[in-house]
Structure 1
Amino acid sequence: MIEITDDEFWRLAGYIKENYGIHLKAEKQSLVTGRLHNVLLEKGFNNFTDYFRYLKNDTSGKAMATLIEKITTNHTFFMREADHFHFFRDQVLPYLRKTVRDKDLRIWSAACSSGEEAYTLAMILDEFFGKEKAFWDSKVLATDISDKVLNIARKGIYPHEGIASLPANWRMNYFNNYDTDHYILTDKIRKEVIYRKFNLMEPVFPFKRKFNTIFCRNVMIYFDQRTKNELVDKFYANMEYGGYLFIGHSESLNRDLTRFKYIMPAVYRKE
């Protein structure tokens, strides 16, 4: 095992935080060593100093992409934290149907991982609007920093056990058999999600219009408080009044600092 020194760890951790906001604490040192060991071997490096030099000098972006994929955990599943989706269906969508006059919904899955969250939203939207759907622009924007998970998401192929807990009518209407072990989402649903690579640490978000709903769940657990506050401020600036922000149940906003109004656990609103 190629061990990382304290100095090497803090240099690497500082670089990651500066570029991606991910705050690696001292106790993550062994995790970083373990997850990057094979990368160093494959590249022929004997120490993390040489690897860090390679990382900073690589202009292709591949080295950083590999690093991010190694140190982040992309764990998600359909209907994760289901109460959020029920609230979105029962409270948010009826409100938006009444108030969005141009029928252009702006919904963002801001850390979409392998796509289950974004596709869940697309299925809810399709079921909610029914025949009205043709009159609405309700495509979901789904972003992530990992090319690997974005490629998985675009394909829309999931194992049988991954969709077993979904309602029977969803499995029937929105999925087709792919092979003996997998289902694939119908084109109808896959075309309702737009996948893009995006870094939430961008100083200015490039969106032309503001969002009605933002899902950014189980991401801010990787950030320190200052980074969280700055990100939440950018969400607020890029959201329509009356819009909703969903975060993970293990996360919370500082109510003394945020301009969002607390609605229920892990759900906030811009008022």
Structure 2
Amino acid sequence: MAAITDQEFKQLADYVKAHYGIHLKDEKRPLVLGRLQHVLTEKGFATFTEYMKYVTSDRTGAAARGLVDKITTNHTFFMRETEHFHFFKSQVLPYLVKTVKEKDLRIWSAGCSSGEEPYTLAMIIDEFFGAQKPQWDTKVLATDISSRVLETAQKGIYSLESIQTIPAGWKSGYFRKLNAEQAVVDSKLQREVVFRKFNLMDPVFPFKRKFHTIFCRNVMIYFDGPTKNNLVNKYYEMMEPGGYLFIGHSESIDRNESPFQYVRPAIYRKPF
């Protein structure tokens, strides 16, 4: 079993911070060691120095993708922080229906993990618009840095236990039972979510049009202050006036560093 020296941990942490914005504190060392140990064994590396040389020299990007897949924590579930979804349905969507031109709704689930959040948004939107939905473009953009969780999200297969928290009408209307333990998201709903791999640390966001709502919940807890402030300000620039930003309840925005207006806990708005 390979150990990780102070210098090796610093090299790995610096690389992850520079490329993905994730701030690996020293107390995360056991987690990093545990998640990467079998990778070193599998690849035949005796030290983390050898492993990092492999990551930085691999021009295909596969080694870096493997690293980020291992160190990111993608814990989520349906209806997480439920009050956000109630606010989105009762306050945000009615406002957008009245104000959005060309019936082009632009919603972004940034850091979508295994897909529960964007699928929940898609179900809310479908239920809200009802018969009027064909008149609107309501597709949800869902991005994440991890190829592994995006693959899970695109398949749309979840345990029956994991969908117990959603309303009964949603379970029957948007899921098909696969077997005694699993259900799959209905193909109609799957078409309403566009999954893409995207690194929030990219210097330029490549989106042609600005968003009306951005969900970025429980993502910025992994960033240090300057990284978080920079990302929040990029969200501000990529948002339509009057648009909403949802973050995790364990997160906050420094209102001295951002022009976003506070609405209620973990909900902010771009002023007109």
TM-score range, shorter chain: over 0.9
- Counterpart in the other structure of 1:183: 183
1:61 deviates by 1.4
CA distance in 2, matches of 1:149, 1:106: 23
1:178 deviates by 1.1
Paired residue type of 1:158: Y
Query: Aligned pair 1:66/2:66, yes or no?
Result: yes
Q: Deviations over 1:113-153 (max 9, x none)?
A: 00000000000000000000000001000000111110110
1:197 deviates by 0.2
- Counterpart in the other structure of 1:78: 78
1:67 deviates by 0.8
Q: Deviations over 1:220-258 (max 9, x none)?
A: 000000000000010000000000000000000001111
1:101-120 maps to which residues of 2 (within 5 A)?
A: 101-120=101-120
1:147-158 maps to which residues of 2 (within 5 A)?
A: 147-158=147-158
For structure 1, the residue ranges without an aligned partner over 5 or more in a row are none
1:66 deviates by 1.2
Query: Aligned pair 1:236/2:236, yes or no?
Result: yes
1:212-227 maps to which residues of 2 (within 5 A)?
A: 212-227=212-227
CA distance in 2, matches of 1:129, 1:37: 49
CA distance in 1, matches of 2:185, 2:52: 40
CA distance in 1, matches of 2:218, 2:149: 16
Determine helix, strand or coil for the equivalent of 1:214.
strand
- Counterpart in the other structure of 1:206: 206
Determine helix, strand or coil for the equivalent of 1:213.
strand
Paired residue type of 2:69: E
Determine helix, strand or coil for the equivalent of 2:103.
coil
Count, aligned residues: 271
For structure 2, the residue ranges without an aligned partner over 5 or more in a row are none
- Counterpart in the other structure of 1:255: 255
Query: What value does the CA root-mean-square deviation take over the aligned residues?
Result: 0.6
TM norm structure 1: 0.99
Q: Deviations over 1:163-189 (max 9, x none)?
A: 111111101111111112111111110
CA distance in 2, matches of 1:33, 1:183: 34
Query: Aligned pair 1:27/2:27, yes or no?
Result: yes
CA distance in 1, matches of 2:30, 2:224: 20
TM norm structure 2: 0.99
Q: Percent identity?
A: 63
